[in-house]
Amino acid sequence: MDPMNDNEVNTAAPPAAAAPRKGRALCMCSGGLDSMLAMCVLREQGVAAEAIAFTSPFFANPAGVTASLAELGFPLHLVDFTDDILALVRDPPSGFGSCLNPCIDCHARMIARAWEFAQANGFDFVATGEVLGQRPMSQMRPGLNRVRKLAGIGDFLVRPLCAKLLDETEPERRGLVDRERLLALNGRNRKPQMELAKKYGIRKYPTPAGGCKLTEPSYCRRLKDVIAHEGLDDARLLGILDHGRLFRLPGGTLAVLGRNRADNEALRTAMRGGDVQLRSVNVPGPTALAVRPAAADEAALRRLVAAYSDHKGVDTVVVRELHAASKPVEIPVPVCGREEFQSCLL
């Protein structure tokens, strides 16, 4: 077309407007329904969503998260959070919740770690599955703002399930996310989430959980005892606190007795140098792990294993002791009752 000739008519179709670039979102995923829905909402509008999940001895098995996300086709990045959460259990700047759960700092630290990961790996922003008003404190507006500020993420945190009720974020301002296609869920009613699950074809999801092991009173009672005696440096101990019955013997030894096959296997795997593994050999009984036992508890440990074995019809239980660096030894122990150990039970 000659720009000087006014009579010329441009009949060519106008060039198609380039589709605005959609963002890459890193979504924090606990394996629960809400985080999966947040990812589906983003994907529906063309955002490339991938998941990040944190692991530690206090959190649920990531296998569940992995399976749910694989079914939906979302890539997953697993990041070890053990050092972070241990530091917060030792010294939570914002304090604990009802047990040993430093929820405010934990949540903020997870967002901060997710944002670090996002920036290092070419993501545009972090997303979560939080719903305004779903939990009494942490998901009220001041709680959501406080955590965002503590995390130091600025305006790069999108909460797709309730974003329309919150201030506009930077990814929305930049057009990486279409605010109009985000949601305005509010409150504790789970019906909207269930409808959305149907819509997105999410068939299997866990019922909403109250929190991690740090919110469970019985687990925390045991954890407090371990903190007082062994400290928090041996992270594998934290993983076996709910793998059986725990005893603190009079000489100070921590002994764990499996309740079933899975516990027994976990205890065998957790054994380290200095520990002793015990079990009855002439009658069925649990595997016991004694963590770096005190010499003063040697006899009590054998009696403990004998007491918790299935010793009907015998007078003597043969207890096999396995030390990491030497051959197992078998020691006959007269049958005794469990009452002796009631006061040692944690």
Residues that bind ligand SF4 (CB under 6 A): 59, 101-103, 106-107, 211-212, 214-215
Provide the CB-side half-sphere exposure for 137 (13 A, CA).
7
Q: Which is nearer to ligand SF4, 213 or 245 (CB)?
A: 213
Q: Which is nearer to ligand SF4, 110 or 266 (CB)?
A: 110
Find, among 91, 51, 53, the residue nearest to 75 by Cα. 51
Question: Considering the complex, what minimum distance in angstroms separates the CB of residue 37 from ligand SF4?
Answer: 18
Q: Which is nearer to ligand SF4, 95 or 313 (CB)?
A: 95
Question: Considering the complex, what minimum distance in angstroms separates the CB of residue 209 from ligand SF4?
Answer: 9
Find, among 118, 35, 127, 36, the residue nearest to 77 by Cα. 118
Question: Considering the complex, what minimum distance in angstroms separates the CB of residue 32 from ligand SF4?
Answer: 11
Owner of token pair 């503590």: 150
What are the CA-CA distances from residue 295 to residues 111, 331, 342 (Å)?
46, 16, 21
Q: Which is nearer to ligand SF4, 43 or 107 (CB)?
A: 107
| Pairing assessment for the beta strands 276-280 and 288-291 based on DSSP bridges | antiparallel
Q: Which is nearer to ligand SF4, 44 or 83 (CB)?
A: 83
Q: Which is nearer to ligand SF4, 26 or 220 (CB)?
A: 220
Question: Considering the complex, what minimum distance in angstroms separates the CB of residue 298 from ligand SF4?
Answer: 38
Q: Which is nearer to ligand SF4, 108 or 183 (CB)?
A: 108
CB atoms near residue 132 (< 10 Å): 21
Question: Considering the complex, what minimum distance in angstroms separates the CB of residue 109 from ligand SF4?
Answer: 8
Find, among 182, 157, 169, 174, the residue nearest to 23 by Cα. 174
Identify whether the C-beta of residue 105 lies closer than 8 Å to the C-beta of residue 150. Answer: yes
Question: Considering the complex, what minimum distance in angstroms separates the CB of residue 105 from ligand SF4?
Answer: 8
Question: Considering the complex, what minimum distance in angstroms separates the CB of residue 138 from ligand SF4?
Answer: 8
Question: Residues 47-51: contacts with CB within 8 Å, 24+ apart?
Answer: 47/22, 47/23, 47/176, 47/177, 48/22, 48/23, 48/24, 49/24, 49/25, 49/74, 49/127, 50/24, 50/25, 50/26, 50/74, 50/75, 50/76, 50/77, 50/123, 51/26, 51/27, 51/75, 51/76, 51/77
Q: Which is nearer to ligand SF4, 30 or 309 (CB)?
A: 30
Identify whether the C-beta of residue 206 lies closer than 8 Å to the C-beta of residue 193. Answer: no
Question: Considering the complex, what minimum distance in angstroms separates the CB of residue 321 from ligand SF4?
Answer: 37
